[in-house]
A and B are shown apart, each in its own frame.
Chain A
C-alpha cells in the first residue's frame, strides 16, 4: 500500500460515489488532507447531521428536514398542477430550471423488470389518493424519453386513470436555442413526430 490505511479507506468510500473514479477519489482525499482540520470536521458533522435530520416528505416524497417539505407548504405554489417525477434528483433539476411552480410527487423508483426495479404499489396508491383529494386540474408525468421512462409513464397513467384529471407528458424534440440547420436527423424526426398544433388567436 503506497498511502496510509485511513487515506486508502477514504479513497475507496469516495470511489463509490456516482461519477467518481479512482483518480478523482484520490484527488478528493488528498484535497481534504491539504485543508485545515476544521474543514474535515465540518464536512463530517454536516454529513452526520444530514443523515440524522433528513427524511422524506409525507406528502410528496421530497427530501426534507421538516414535514411537510418547503415546496408542499409554500402557499405561493400553483396547487392546481401536480408533476410526477421518478426521483428527487430529477425534481431538483426541474426546480433549478424555474420552469415549473406547481407541486410534485416523487415516485422513488422506475419500472424496469430487466434490472429488477419497480415502483412500490403503496407509492402508486398514495399518488392516486393524493391526486384524487388534491383538487388538481392537471397531472404532468415527467418521465424520461426512454423505454424505462415509457414503462414508468404507463404504470403511473394506469394508477391515476380513475381520477379523471387531465394528464400530460413532457414533450421532446428540438433543443431550445438550437437551430434546425444544426439538428441531427434523429432529433428532427422526433420533433416532427411530436409537433404541436398552433392556436391562432384572433386579436382583431
Chain B
C-alpha cells in the first residue's frame, strides 16, 4: 500500500497542509522539535494505530489551540484504493470511504510498521519490548490475535486474583490453556517469518544472526500439553509468588550471533542494525503473508549508524519497493535516492 495524499489540520504543531506523496523513499529533514515525528504519528494514526508516546488518540490535538478540533485524512493506493479520515474532538471518529470503522480494522488494510529511536531496546531491552514486536506483527497477520491476547491478559488477571484469594484455580487454567497454546502457535509462526526475513536484510548486519521464540514454559512440542505440564511443574512457585509464572507473558525472542546473545557481542551501531533488520523482516513477513506492501515509518533511524551502515540501509530500503518515510535531524545522510522534505516549525516543503 502507498499513501498518495494526506491532509491534516489542528494536529500537534503541524500547520494545516494538504500534500501529495509519491511512491518510494521520503526523507523528512529538520531540527529537533520541528514536527518530523508528528508527521509520522499522523500516518501511524491513519493506519489504525495510536499515539507514539502512549497517549490516547483523543489527546492528539493542536498544541497551540487544544480546544480546536483535529482532522486527519489520507488516500491510499496499491493493493486497494482507500480513503481514511479521522476526526478528533470530544471523541475520535474514524471513517473509511465515508463509513465509520474501528481504527483497529484499518491495520490489516494499510499495514504499517514503525521504528522509533528507543527501539534499540529491541536488542538490549527487556523481553517485553521484543514481545511487543511479535504482537504487532501477529496482530497484522492473524485477525483475532489482538482480541485473544486481550482475553488471555484478562484471564491471567483473573487467575492471579483467584491465587490471592486462595480460590480453586482449575477453571482459570482451563480458560488460559487454549488461549496460551493459540498465542504460542501465532508467535512461533511470526518468529519463523522474522527468521526467514533476516536473510533478506542483505549486508545490513553480519550473517549468522538467528532469532528464536523462547516460550515461557518447559518447551514441550505439543503446545497445549506444554502449558498444562509447565503449570504443574511450577505450581509451588506460583503459590509462593501469587503470580502465574507460565505462559506467553513470559515469552522472549532470543537474538543470537552464533552461540552468544547479540547484546553481549555487538557494538551499539551493530545492535541498531539488528533492530532495524528485525523491523524489516516483519515487513517482509507482512508482504509475504498479507500480500500487501507495508508502509515503513522510520524515526531517526540513521542515528548511530556509520556511513557504510547508512548506505546499506538505504540500499535495502530501495530494494523492498515499499513506501518509506524516514526522519533525520542531520543533513549528513548519504545521497538520498528519494524525495527530501524540509520540516521547520510545523511547516513542510519539498527541497
Residues of A within 8 A of B (CB): 111-114, 118, 146-148, 150-151, 154-155, 158, 184-186, 188-190
Contact = CB atoms under 8 A, between A and B. Distances in A.
Contacts of B157: 114
A113 B143 contact: no
A114 B158 contact: yes
B227 to A, nearest CB: 15
Contacts of A147: 151, 154-155, 158, 175
7 contacts: A111-B171, A113-B165, A147-B151, A150-B174, A151-B171, A151-B175, A189-B143
Interface in B164-200: 165, 167, 170-172, 174-175
Contacts of A185: 105, 108, 143-144
B161 interface: yes
Nearest to B153: A147
Given A113-B162, A184-B105, A155 B143 contact: no
A111 B108 CA distance: 35
Contact of B174 (A112, A154, A186, A189): A154
Interface string B9-44: 000000000000000000000000000000000000
Contacts of B143: 185-186, 188-189
B332 interface: no
Given A185-B108, A186-B143, A154 B161 contact: no
A185 B142 CA distance: 9
B96 to A, nearest CB: 12
Contact of B172 (A151, A184, A186, A189): A151
Interface of B: 105, 108, 143-144, 147, 151, 154-155, 157-159, 161-162, 165, 167, 170-172, 174-175
Contact of B158 (A112, A158, A186): A112
- Sort A-B residue pairs by CB-CB distance and give the 7 closest, nearest first: A185-B143, A113-B161, A154-B171, A113-B162, A150-B175, A189-B144, A114-B161
Given A184-B105, A186-B143, A189-B144, A155 B158 contact: no
Interface centre among B151, B154, B171, B175 (most CB of A within 10 A): B171
A118 B158 contact: no
Chain B contact surface mostly? helix
A190 B144 contact: yes
B167 A113 contact: yes
Contact of B170 (A146, A158, A189): A158
Given A184-B105, A189-B143, A154 B175 contact: yes
Contacts of A190: 144
B249 to A, nearest CB: 15
A150 B159 CA distance: 13
Given A111-B171, A150-B174, 19 more contacts: A113-B158, A113-B161, A114-B158, A147-B154, A147-B155, A151-B175, A154-B170, A154-B171, A154-B175, A155-B171, A158-B170, A158-B171, A185-B105, A185-B108, A185-B143, A185-B144, A188-B143, A189-B143, A189-B144
Contacts of A118: 167
B233 to A, nearest CB: 22
A155 B105 CA distance: 34
Contacts of A155: 171
B171 A186 contact: no
A147 B158 CA distance: 9
A118 B165 CA distance: 12
A118 B158 CA distance: 12
